Structure 1
Amino acid sequence: MATYEQILTAMQQEYHKQTGFFADDASDIGIRLKVLATQLSTLDEHLESLKTQVFPQTATDLQLDYHAQTRGLQRKKATVSLGVLRFSRETPAPSDIIIPAGVVCSVGKSDTDLNLRFETTEQGVIPVGFTYVDIPAQSSEGGTLANTAPGAVTVMITPVQAISSVTNPIAFTGGSDRETDKQLRARLMSSFATISNGTNAAFYYDFAMGFDGVASAKVVPRVNGRGTVGVYVAGVGAPVPDALVTEIQKQLTDVKEINVDVTVANARLHPVDITLEIAGASGVNYEHLKAACEHKLTEYFHALRVGQNLLLAGVLDALYHIEGLYNYKLITPVKDIQAESDVLFTLDSTTISRMAVVI
């Protein structure tokens, strides 16, 4: 791209070539050349921007959305996480205690965490003689940050009479972020590489991946013999809600080819325990380094797809790029793990300890 100075210099040199002298900066011609050079520079910037937006390989934001729409693809929206809130009291209820839908609670570790809110999606009742009830709930906002560990939700924003505490006995899962340009571009380019014809595996894969909350999918032809297709879906390191599986099944049943039996199901989760020894470079805080390793391992497992093998090389590579990590040793698993077609590997636990530094 030509800069303003380059354009102005070229115009001044051409003017000298045509007239035999240079235009004075304060002259009418000199001022006009500067004004014109400014406009040409701005136009050149717009043209450069247009060049990046005209091709799907480099387009961004709304323009990338337009390219995706030509292939029948839509950018996925952020999805909420789902779980259960347990409302408790210290003594058995003297009578039925009704807890309405829409009760808002939050995590309570820090001021920042208070932004993560969760609300009940239906009414619940603590029966007479009982001390607690579990009620289905979801996060108020979408995104992976709304996926919380068991016991994280402890603050009742909406007061409930006769209730003394709240918690989440199981993790909130299924929350996913809005699809990024990189992720949408990958789906778009894949749609060009493998053309969907309404009957092949690419058709079923693209259809399943088009739903908000579906982070990966695997299509298995002849899963139960000739004329059958299995479609296994998963969220970000977690199953997708049963209601979404039902909706995908319903819509695929309506559009599938004739005489084909399609089965849509959640992928089977295969939890993996990671045991790791690490050593930091001189001056690196061990706790910060440990947290960075845990974060990278979580990212690696979240990027795995249904039916994708767990390779030790992939785990080691994810750790290799951590700044300040001097050395490390993967204790478990001890070998690659091959995935069946309907399996998604997830991170179950991470155990990290110090290793001796060899100088």
Structure 2
Amino acid sequence: MAITFQSLKTMLGNAVAAAQGACPALLELDVGSPGRAMLEGVTGVGLWLQFIALQILSRTRLATSIGADADSFVEDFGLTREPGTSATGVVRFTSFTPDNQSATIPVGTPVKTVGNVIYDVVEDSANAAWSTAADAYVRPAGTASITVPVRCETAGTVGNVAAGAICLLGSAISGIDTVTNDAALTNGSDGETDAALRARFVAYINSRSKATLAAIEDAITDVSADLIYQVIENVDASGAFLPGNVVAFIDDGSGDVSDAVIDEVYAAIDDVRPAAVSIQVVRPKVVRPPVAMTVSVNSTGDLPTIQTTISTNIAAYLNGLTIGESASYSRLIQIAYASSTAVTNVSGVTLAGGTVDLPSTTGTAYRAGTVTFG
């Protein structure tokens, strides 16, 4: 049943009409009269009670709750709001005189942008430059540069930066002269919004006590709402037929999701899988297609700035594709024209050396590669 709320003017008018209707004699209810003052006082209390009722109603339903009230509502059911995620990616450390000495880059080494957004080097034992003995990344003498993974110290979209934005060493490193990120970082995200929390709560409730694909997908989003995933039944990670097996391909938009996230997703799926069903949680096959194009601008446009914007937006598009989704060739042209009103022509566009869409392939994720301009 809908509740109709009244304004102060409407509520006072109703009170005046009710008082006059209940009295056989004409009442003195002009502005400033004692009777009018009494009715205004009672109406003010009624308006306050109406406000309290509205506050109670807005907090007892998730659909109308916001902020901390939405959090407390879902927490009663064992669900919590997802925090923001830190942007991750790789940077390249370079020496101008590589033959003179080697260099050691320990975990936690800071690098930063001109705007002082700081990123820390993180461990990746699968990286070719990782040395277990040194417990750090090593650039051997004779090798000019190595690439290592980093994570932004601050969670949120503040860590999403264009290629080349990370250009400063946070501390001096013997044998290293420069640092840069060859590709844009785009996978940082702010905390879950109220609208997203409400939508996930519905999926969470509907998947309880059900060993379904929806339950598995909800378990993945419970780890992080920003994870990109594809869940396939009755095959193994290679695509071969395997009855009773479920494969979950997991990515965070970087193309190199951490071991810790893989383990956390595995544990979450294991909690909802039925007996006798095996699960595999793996990274997708990552393809980083090179993009090339020639962009012309009019006299009002700054070509290097526009090219940087195009590179960043193409990276955001590719990194946002779901696993198994095709990459659109024509979207690249659209992104280039949308980058600035100063763009007059876009030509010579190629995607992975061709002029057609890259096909949709199970377990394959297209992610940002190099963007070159003619």
- The aligned counterpart of 1:260 is 277
Q: Which residue of 2 aligns with 1:223?
A: 235
Q: Judging changes above 3 Å, is the alpha-carbon distance between structure 1 residues 311 and 260 closer, same or farther for their aligned structure 2 residues? A: same
What is the alpha-carbon distance in structure 1 between the residues aligned to residue 312 and residue 39 of structure 2? 55
> Given the superposition, is the C-alpha separation of residues 12 and 161 from structure 1 closer, same or farther in structure 2, using an over 3 Å criterion?
farther
SS at match of 1:39: helix
Query: Is the counterpart of residue 178 in structure 1 residue 191 in structure 2?
Result: yes
Question: What's the % identity of the aligned pairs?
Answer: 20
Residues 183 and 315, structure 2, Cα contact 8 Å, conserved in 1: no
Does the Cα contact within 8 Å between 1:102 and 1:119 map onto a contact in 2? yes
How far apart are the structure 1 equivalents of 2:245 and 2:118? Answer: 42
Letter in 2 for 1:200: T
Which of 99, 106, 111 is the aligned partner of 1:105? 111
Question: Against the structure 1 CA distance between its residues 50 and 336, is the aligned structure 2 distance closer, same or farther, given a 3 Å change threshold?
Answer: farther
Q: How many residues align?
A: 344
1:190 is matched with which residue?
Answer: 203
Shift of 1:147: 3.3
Q: Write out aligned runs for 1:243-282 (5 A).
A: 243-253=260-270, 256-269=273-286
Structure 2: runs of 5+ lacking an equivalent? 124-135, 237-241
Q: Could you tell me whether the CA contact under 8 Å between 1:233 and 1:239 is conserved in 2?
A: no
Secondary structure of 2:86's counterpart equals coil
| 1:31-77 residue CA offsets vs partner (Å, 9 max, x unmatched) | 34333333333433343344444333443323333443455432211
Q: Quote how far apart the aligned CAs of 1:229 are.
A: 0.8
* Counterpart check, 1:242 vs 2:234: no
Map Cα deviations across residues 225-249 of structure 1 (whole Å, 9 max, x no partner): 2211111222247453233113322
Tell me which amino acid in the other structure corresponds to 1:175: G
**Once the two structures are superposed, what CA deviation does each residue of 1:108-142 show, in whole Å capped at 9, x if it has no partner?**
3xxxx33x211233644455565555444211112
- Structure 1 residues 341 and 92, CA, compared in 2 at 3 Å: closer, same or farther? closer
Q: Please, which moves more after superposition, 14-23 or 3-12?
A: 14-23
Q: TM-score, structure 1 length as denominator?
A: 0.71
Alpha-carbon contact 1:147-1:174 (below 8 Å) kept = yes
Moved more, 18-27 or 291-300: 291-300
Aligned partners of 1:317, 1:164: CA distance in 2, in Å?
38
Aligned mates of 1:120, 1:305 — CA distance in 2: 27
Residue number in structure 1 paired with 2:128: none
Q: How far did residue 80 of structure 1 move?
A: 1.5
What is the CA–CA distance in structure 2 between the aligned matches of 1:201 and 1:262, rounded to whole Å? 12
Corresponding residue for 1:281? none
1:21 corresponds to: 27
Counterpart residue number, 1:204: 216
Query: Residues of 1 paired with 2:308 and 2:183: CA distance?
Result: 23
CA distance in 1, matches of 2:139, 2:313: 42
- Give the CA deviation at 1:168: 3.0
Q: 1:118 — aligned with what?
A: 119
**3-state SS of the aligned residue for 1:220?**
strand
Tell me how far apart the structure 2 counterparts of residues 316 and 97 of structure 1 sit (CA, whole Å): 42
Instruction: Give the superposed CA RMSD.
Output: 4.8
Residue 226 of structure 1 aligns to a residue in which SS? strand
Secondary structure in 1 matching 2:119:
strand
User: After superposition, where does 1:1-359 map in structure 2 within 5 Å?
Assistant: 1-19=5-23, 20-69=26-75, 71-92=77-98, 97-108=103-114, 113-114=115-116, 116-121=117-122, 123-127=136-140, 132-160=145-173, 163-169=176-182, 171-172=184-185, 174-192=187-205, 194-212=206-224, 214-224=226-236, 225-236=242-253, 238-253=255-270, 256-269=273-286, 304-307=321-324, 339-344=360-365, 346=367
Does 124-133 or 175-184 show the bigger shift?
Answer: 124-133
2: distance between equivalents of 1:164 and 1:303?
Answer: 33
Cα distance, 1:172 vs structure 2: 4.1
- The one-letter code sitting in structure 1 at the alignment partner of 2:266 is Q
For residue 79 of structure 1, report the CA deviation from its aligned partner. 1.5
